[in-house]
Structure 1
Amino acid sequence: MTGYTPLSLDQKLTSIRKTTVLDVMRRLLQTKNIMVTGAVKKGAYMSILNVIQGDVDPTQVHKSLQRIRERKLANFIPWGPASIQVALSKKSPYIDSGHKVSGLMLANHTGIRSIFKVLYDQEKKF
């Protein structure tokens, strides 16, 4: 599953919104920012990779991961490690963005099974 935040509809965004690493990482776990519908409500994460782009201090990432664990914002499988991997990247000089920090999430989630089942059932009809 994938997720991206912040999404902007306006290409000529003039106001720079102050977003912190914690805000971005928290929003990536929200169902409205995930590019698949209905798969996250049930189930658990097997693994999460967050790619954070922008001017980010690594200590902010560590503090954000601690807050996410404390608040139990991500439900992980009980038989595996509960960790979120984070990769930091610089802001692209070729893309104009009104945001200081943006994030992309790539995750393995057990809820994706329901989507595969729907696709399988549709294929069986033909």
Structure 2
Amino acid sequence: MANIFTDLLKRIKIDYHDYRKELIGNWNLRREAKQIDKAIKRAKFRNLRDNRTYYILKDNRGGISALTRMEINYWSARGMFHNMNYMQLLRASIAIVTSNQTIQEQYNQEQLRKENNHEQSNKRKSGRKSHKSDF
């Protein structure tokens, strides 16, 4: 009889642990979405003032910022971002806010290319056979 209660208690602890991990994960996703929305709003407001291109990036510490190229170079020198050329910057950006149509089109093309590469890698992974099925 005691084994039933200890097993039940262990199962409850495991379920609670899984529930907390899922709850924290969902909360982090919502928090990140809010941070992205706020960064885009800040970038739009700044873009109206100075007509610069703002890149929405996630830094090494997990924060999401709206930065110009000059600010990215400044923080890259201090280790917050990796040194990136223009195309790497477009790939790493979560979003961009710009009044220049050419930059917007380049960003859209890079995002499409990134999505296509991701889909192709998923197709390759799903097409592989595991070693267990060979036996």
TM range (shorter): under 0.3
Higher helix share: 2
Higher strand share: 1
* Larger RCO (alpha carbons 8 Å, 6+ apart): 1
